[in-house]
C-alpha cells in the first residue's frame, strides 16, 4: 500500500486563500476553473451558497471529531509499530483539518462581500470592487472555486484513510463506523434534552405552585416528580457510557 499522505491537489490548494498564500494565485486558478455551475443570479443565491458551506463545515466538524476519536488507538500503536501508516494517517488528517479551516475562512469572506453589497444602494453584485479588477460576483466565484478545491481535498483524504483501514482490518472499520453512528445519535439526544430541560423545570414549578396542600395531590405529584428524576438519572448514565466508549 502506498502510504504517501500527499494529495495531488494539496500543494496547490495549500497556497490558495491561506494566511501565507498568494491572493493572486487563488484568483488565477479561479479564472481557469469551470464556472458554468456558478449561476449566482442575485445576492440571495450567493447567501444561499454561504449557508450551504456553513452547513458543510458543521457536518464535517462532527465527522472530523469522530474520525480522530476512532483512529486514536490505531495511531498510538502505529506510531511505534508502523510509522509509515502513522505518517499516512496524520498527513491526511492534517489535510482534512486545513481544508475545513480554509473553507470556513473563505465562507466568511464570501459573507463579507455580500454584506458590503447589501449595505450600499449604489452597488450591486456586478459592481467592481474598489482597487480590484473583479466585481463582487467575480470575487465571490473565485472564493467559491477555492472552496470546491478544498472540499475535494478533504473528501479525497478521508476516502484514502478508509481504504487504508479496509486493507488492514475490515472489522476495525465496521466497529468504528458503528461507534460513529452512536456518537451522532447520543449527541442529538443530548441536544434535545437540553432544549427540553427549561420546559421541564417550568412545568415542575407550575405544578408545585398549583397543587394544594391536599395529601393525595402531593402524593401524586411526588410520584410524577420521581419519574422525571429517574429518567434524568438514566440519561446521565447513558451520557457517561458514550463518553467512555473507546
Average pLDDT, the chain: 75
Query: Is the pLDDT score of 3 beyond 60?
Result: no
Structure confidence at residue 44 (pLDDT): 93
Query: Is the pLDDT score of 67 beyond 60?
Result: yes
Q: For residues 18 and 105, what is the distance between their CA atoms, to the nearest angstrom? A: 9
Q: Are residue 96 and residue 161 in the same domain, yes or no?
A: yes
Residue with the larger pLDDT of the pair 52 and 22: 52
Q: Are residue 189 and residue 159 in the same domain, yes or no?
A: no
Structure confidence at residue 162 (pLDDT): 87
Structure confidence at residue 198 (pLDDT): 75
Q: Are residue 54 and residue 162 in the same domain, yes or no?
A: yes
Virtual CA dihedral for 132, 135, 141, 143, nearest 10 degrees?
30
Q: Are residue 104 and residue 46 in the same domain, yes or no?
A: yes
Q: Is the pTM of this model over 0.85?
A: no
Does residue 71 fall inside a structural domain?
A: yes
Structure confidence at residue 238 (pLDDT): 63
Does residue 3 fall inside a structural domain?
A: no
What contacts 24+ positions apart, CB below 8 Å, involve 111-117? 111/50, 113/46, 113/139, 113/140, 113/143, 114/43, 114/46, 114/47, 114/50, 114/140, 117/43
Instruction: Name 135's bridge partners.
Output: 128
Q: Are residue 88 and residue 128 in the same domain, yes or no?
A: yes
How many separate domains does the chain show?
2
Three cell numbers at 157? 483524504
Q: Are residue 199 and residue 95 in the same domain, yes or no?
A: no
Q: Are residue 86 and residue 122 in the same domain, yes or no?
A: yes
Does residue 24 fall inside a structural domain?
A: yes
Does residue 1 fall inside a structural domain?
A: no
Query: Is the pLDDT score of 80 beyond 50?
Result: yes
Domain around 237: 185-244
Residue with the larger pLDDT of the pair 160 and 187: 160
Q: Are residue 204 and residue 131 in the same domain, yes or no?
A: no
Structure confidence at residue 231 (pLDDT): 72
Q: Are residue 16 and residue 125 in the same domain, yes or no?
A: yes
Q: Mean pLDDT check: name the lowest of 84-88, 99-103, 145-149.
A: 84-88
Residue with the larger pLDDT of the pair 23 and 110: 110
Does residue 50 fall inside a structural domain?
A: yes
How crowded is residue 84: how many other Cβ atoms within 10 Å of its Cβ?
Answer: 13
Does residue 176 fall inside a structural domain?
A: no
Q: Are residue 80 and residue 140 in the same domain, yes or no?
A: yes
What average pLDDT does the segment 104-128 reach? 95
Does residue 229 fall inside a structural domain?
A: yes
Q: Are residue 89 and residue 202 in the same domain, yes or no?
A: no
Question: Residues 6 or more apart from 94 whose CB is under 8 A from it?
Answer: 5
Give residue 48's pLDDT band: very low, low, confident or very high (50, 70, 90). Answer: very high
Query: Is the pLDDT score of 49 beyond 70?
Result: yes
Question: Residues 6 or more apart from 150 whose CB is under 8 A from it?
Answer: 13, 16, 98, 99, 102, 103, 106
Residue with the larger pLDDT of the pair 183 and 133: 133
Query: Is the pLDDT score of 236 beyond 90?
Result: no
Q: Are residue 33 and residue 110 in the same domain, yes or no?
A: yes
Of 119, 140, 168, the residue at which a domain comes to its end is 168
Summarize pLDDT for 139-184 with one digit per residue, the tens. Answer: 999 999 999 999 999 999 999 998 888 877 633 343 444 555 555 5
Structure confidence at residue 229 (pLDDT): 73
Query: Is the pLDDT score of 13 beyond 70?
Result: no
Does residue 123 fall inside a structural domain?
A: yes
What average pLDDT does the segment 130-143 reach? 94
Amino acid at each position: 500500500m502506498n502510504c504517501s499522505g500527499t494529495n495531488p491537489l494539496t500543494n496547490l490548494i495549500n497556497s490558495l486563500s491561506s494566511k501565507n498564500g498568494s491572493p493572486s494565485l487563488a484568483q488565477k486558478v479561479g479564472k481557469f476553473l469551470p464556472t458554468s455551475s456558478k449561476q449566482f443570479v442575485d445576492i440571495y443565491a450567493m447567501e444561499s451558497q454561504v449557508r450551504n458551506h456553513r452547513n458543510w463545515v458543521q457536518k464535517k466538524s462532527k465527522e472530523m471529531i469522530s474520525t480522530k476519536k476512532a483512529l486514536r488507538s490505531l495511531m498510538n500503536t502505529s506510531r511505534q509499530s508502523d510509522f509509515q501508516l502513522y505518517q499516512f494517517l496524520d498527513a491526511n488528517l492534517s489535510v482534512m483539518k486545513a481544508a475545513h479551516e480554509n473553507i470556513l475562512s473563505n465562507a466568511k469572506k464570501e459573507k463579507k462581500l455580500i454584506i458590503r453589497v447589501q449595505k450600499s444602494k449604489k452597488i450591486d453584485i456586478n459592481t467592481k470592487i474598489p482597487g480590484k479588477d473583479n466585481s463582487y460576483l467575480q470575487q465571490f466565484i473565485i472564493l467559491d472555486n477555492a472552496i470546491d478545491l478544498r472540499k475535494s481535498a478533504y473528501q479525497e483524504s478521508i476516502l484514502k484513510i478508509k481504504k487504508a483501514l479496509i486493507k488492514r482490518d475490515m472489522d476495525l472499520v465496521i466497529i468504528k463506523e458503528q461507534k460513529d453512528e452512536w456518537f451522532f445519535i447520543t449527541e442529538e439526544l443530548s441536544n434535545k434534552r437540553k432544549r427540553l430541560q427549561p420546559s421541564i423545570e417550568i412545568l415542575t414549578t407550575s405544578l408545585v405552585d398549583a397543587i394544594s396542600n391536599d395529601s393525595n395531590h402531593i402524593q401524586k405529584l411526588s410520584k410524577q416528580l420521581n419519574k422525571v428524576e429517574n429518567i434524568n438519572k438514566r440519561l446521565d448514565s447513558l451520557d457517561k457510557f458514550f463518553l467512555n466508549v473507546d
